[in-house]
Structure 1
């Protein structure tokens, strides 16, 4: 049986520790990847549910309007106009939030630069 020195034992312990760290890192990376995929699938499922509800609503209202002999096209046009208004409002809000985020990042960068200048002096 081979006698190991303290440096050999420390080197072996360091290699074992490194292998354990790498194994832990890859397990966590795999878990994060699967959770991200699962979250994306949930988002797609929610979008599919919303689209299905919209289509079902339009079909049911179309059937009801046809049954009572009412004008369907004006109703559908008003729904389309409502959705266009909602989407343009959401686009505007998203654009405003992007501008606010850019402004906040710029202000943070300016303060960081000022802090670094005062720390040097």
Structure 2
């Protein structure tokens, strides 16, 4: 199991950006998304997660917003799960069989506490 304390994830609306490249639009990870990915990589490194999970997983997410704004809690999941995969925690988020997301009390700056638990089911 790995437990990480991360910054509050960017919403899916701010994670992606559409940019014009030549005569077509291309969707890229935004600056906010790249900063979040870097923070996740750093947290994974500090947690000394040496082995990438390859089996089935359960993920628990505790979201602590920074303020009282209305937020859809599912709007932050895509960026979080994508960043965990890019950081090498697992191969792909399709390995996740159980996903629990709970909104917690707000805290200064906001944060996200994530537990990734191998289930032993293949």
TM-score, length-scaled by structure 2? 0.22
Q: Could you say which structure has the greater relative contact order, defined with CA pairs below 8 angstroms and 6 or more residues apart?
A: 2
TM-score, length-scaled by structure 1? 0.22
Larger radius of gyration: 1
Q: Which has the higher helix share?
A: 1
